[in-house]
Structures are given as structure tokens and as C-alpha cells.
Structure 1
Amino acid sequence: MMPFEAVLFDCDGVLVDSEPITMAVLRDLLAEAGWDMPLAACMAEFVGVTVRSKTALIEARTGKPLTDAWMARFYAERNAALTVSLQAIPGAHAAVEAAHAATGGRIACASGADRFKVEMQLAQVGLTPWFGGAVFSGHDMPRTKPAPDVYLAAAAHLAAAPARCLVVEDTPTGVQAGVAAGATVWGYCPPGGPAETLRAAGARKLFARMDDLASLLRA
């Protein structure tokens, strides 16, 4: 018997391969502002967190204020790049379909990203129909990840007890959010991913291929 009432998916890095695209745009804009770094360093610093949560660091490294106009430019250039290049994580469609079948449709997408980005990405890779209205953004919550708010909202929407929910995450920040919500968290961790930090954050299980989720749910 499937032990979970609902499955709650993160979006970036779990359903869509957006993080390298977004981070490349951010890296270029930060370099233009005076903080030059390799893409790997930018990803290590910013994946799993909001840009605004790093305001003090950005301002210290660039010597310039992080303005609304700069953020608007980042969002616009990010969205344009995603529109051109975004792909689903391999196996994501099969994983979502399997979770939908296993839970009788009680699945949600709960992301720390802004709602426009989340909904745009799900639509672009053809996943929107599986989630319907069960799409949640940390930007709409009092607190975003690593606080549990977005996962608690998703569980409440599905009328599922958080302790009976499975969260699928790929970053330590997201894992911490799922654990704080009281859910069981599994970490999607392809080869070379942050296995130890995901475990340290509280991930109960790690898996390397998204299309393995179906068999894991049946185990």
C-alpha cells in the first residue's frame, strides 16, 4: 500500500532543468554590476534561494544597491532565456503521472520561485494539466523556503496531513522546508549532485533518475 496521501514536487531542478539557464543570466548580470564569478560558483551561492534573500551579499560584492529595476531586468532576461531553452528533467513526465495515479490525483507543485516563472515553466514543458490549480509559490507566502509555508499550503489545499505527504526536492533549502512541514522528503540527486548535504538537511531517500520515482512509490 502506498504510504503517502499526497506527493508535493518542487519545480526547478526537479521537474524542469531551469537552474543552469537562470544562473547563467544571473551570473552575467552580476558580472556586469561588478561581481564576476564562474557559473559553478553562482549556482553554489544562489540555487535554492531567492535573489532578494542575498541582497546584502550582492550589494557588498557589487558596491551597488539591488534595485527593483535591476530585479525587473533579471526577471525579464531570465524569462526570455527560459522560453528559448527550457526542457523538462528527463523522466519528470513519468514521475508526475505515476504520483498522480498513486495518490488519486493528490499532487501539487510547491516552489520557492515566483508564480509567473513556475506557471510558465510547467506550461512550457506540458506539465500544467497534471497539477491544475495545485501550484504554489513561496513568493505568495509569509515566508519562503527553507520555511515550511509553501508545503503546508500545498498539503492543506489537497486536504492531506503533512506527515502523510511526500516531498520531492533537489536542494538542501528545499529539503529543510519539507522537513519543517513534517513531511517525508526524498532527494532527487543525479550523479555529481549534493548527496551529503541533502542527507544532512533531512532527506530520507536519494534517487538519481526521476523516472525511478514510479517504482519507488510502489516499493
Structure 2
Amino acid sequence: MTAFDAVLFDCDGVLVDSESITNRVLCIMLNESGWAISQEECTRDFIGKTVRSQAAIIEAHTGKPLTDAWMAEFYERRNVALQAELVAIAGAVQAVQQIHELCQGRIACASGADRAKVEMQLAKVGMAPYFEGHVYSGHEMPRSKPFPDVYLAAAQALNADPAKCLVIEDTMTGVQAGVAAGATVWGYFPADQGHASAEQLLEAGAACVFGHMGDLPAMFAAVCKSAASATPGDGDEHEIS
């Protein structure tokens, strides 16, 4: 008996420290378009969401349509900033390496962001080889997070039962998506995170929260060891301290 068939990682805020960079560019462009929104408000309102999914709100505040040209400029300016500033989340590269080994390669990156961004970010921080052929974008699904589509697609591609997948997320939107897919979700909540509390992640459905990506392999191994040693009738619940 094993605890999980596969591990499915979100990207932004879980593997790469990109959210503050992306939201800064978005905030600047929204202000240029006539919406006097602060950086704090922009982070609060847009974290874990696609820009296009908030088109009605943007148009209401700017009085302008959210055009393809505006989005193309946003992507270009965002990518320039990411290429210049992006780093991996502390401990994430080593965690992915170890989880990849523990799972015999059965891992995926399932993000709400566009594929070009996700693949560029993974390549920049040296994680691309671990997710080769298993990057999934919410932009390519019928619905993006908080709907489960991207996680269901990742599980299906890995031939894994969603109910036996572990999802690693850092936002309420992402946790809701993982829970809706039927997966177990662990919430990543570093001490300096500012957009969701540990309590909110748990309320959204996370089974537990942890504060450093370097802790993930040991947590994962402990749960798998507990599952492997369980005897029939022990049940399937495993507590993480």
C-alpha cells in the first residue's frame, strides 16, 4: 500500500518566487490604464487568478476593454521582469529532485498560468528536466483554478487516480482546485507570505500546511512509510506533525 500515486505541484509561489514580480508589473499597467490600485490591493485581488478571468473587474475600473494587445504587452513586460529577477523558492529545487526520485518520476507541474510562462520559469531555475512532458496550464483547460480541470488532466496523463495524488499549493484558489479534483492538498505557507493565512488554506481544504519547501521530502517519505507499514483495517488517515 502506498500513500500517493503522484505529486502535482503548482508553480508560482510554490516552485518559483514569481508572484511579487508578476503582480508588480500588473499593478503598474493597471495604474497606467487608469485604475489607481495599490500593490497590496493588486496582490489581494489577483493572487492565484488569471488576468483574463478578472476582465470585467478591470474594465469596470479602467473604463477600457481588456484587449489582446494589452494582454500581449502585459505578458511581454512580465516575462522581461521574470527573466531578470526570478529565483526558485528556497529549498524547492532540492525538494523537487528528491520527490521526483521518491515517486519514480511521477510528478507534474499544474499551473493556472500560461504555458510559456510556466516552462520559461522552470527552465530558468533548473527544474525543467524533472517536469519534462508533464507541464499543464489552466489556459489550455475548459476551466482554470479554482476548478479542478488542470489537476485532473495532470493526474490522467500520469495514469494516477486523483484521489491518490498529492497536490502542493499556496493559494486558496489552488487549494480549492486540488480539493475539487479529489486530491490530498498540502498548503505551502512560508512565514513571509502575505496573501493567505495558514488558517485560510486549511479552511479551503488543505490537509495540513508547512513552512519550508525543504521539509517536503521528509514529510512525504514519512507518510509513505506509514502507509507501507499499515496493516489491513488501519485506515488511510495519516497525521503530519
Q: TM-score, normalised by structure 2?
A: 0.89
Instruction: Provide the rounded CA distance (Å) in 1 between the counterparts of 2:102 and 2:40.
Output: 37
Structure 1 runs of 4+ aligned residues shifted over 6 Å read none
Instruction: Provide the rounded CA distance (Å) in 2 between the counterparts of 1:84 and 1:108.
Output: 25
Please list, as runs of the form range in 1=range in 2, the aligned pairs for 1:203-218 lying within 5 A after superposition. Answer: 203-218=206-221
SS in 1 for 2:101: helix
Please list, as runs of the form range in 1=range in 2, the aligned pairs for 1:37-48 lying within 5 A after superposition. Answer: 37-48=37-48
C-alpha RMSD over aligned residues: 1.0
SS in 1 for 2:147: coil
Please list, as runs of the form range in 1=range in 2, the aligned pairs for 1:158-169 lying within 5 A after superposition. Answer: 158-169=158-169
1:88-124 Cα offsets, whole Å, 9 max, x none, are 0001011111211221110000000000000000001
Instruction: Provide the rounded CA distance (Å) in 2 between the counterparts of 1:215 and 1:71.
Output: 41
Please list, as runs of the form range in 1=range in 2, the aligned pairs for 1:176-215 lying within 5 A after superposition. Answer: 176-193=176-193, 194-215=197-218
1:170-216 Cα offsets, whole Å, 9 max, x none, are 00000010000000000000115421211111000100001000110
Q: CA deviation at 1:2?
A: 5.0
Instruction: Provide the rounded CA distance (Å) in 1 between the counterparts of 2:31 and 2:200.
Output: 28
1:127 aligned partner: 127
In structure 2, relative to structure 1, the CA distance for the partners of 1:211 and 1:2 (3 Å cut) is: farther
Of all paired residues, the percent bearing the same amino acid is: 63
Q: CA deviation at 1:64?
A: 1.1
Structure 2 gap segments, 5+ residues each: 223-241
Amino acid at match of 1:199: L
SS in 2 for 1:13: coil
SS in 2 for 1:217: helix
Instruction: Provide the rounded CA distance (Å) in 1 between the counterparts of 2:161 and 2:54.
Output: 33
Q: TM-score, normalised by structure 1?
A: 0.98
- Please identify the structure whose Cα radius of gyration is greater: 2
Amino acid at match of 1:66: L
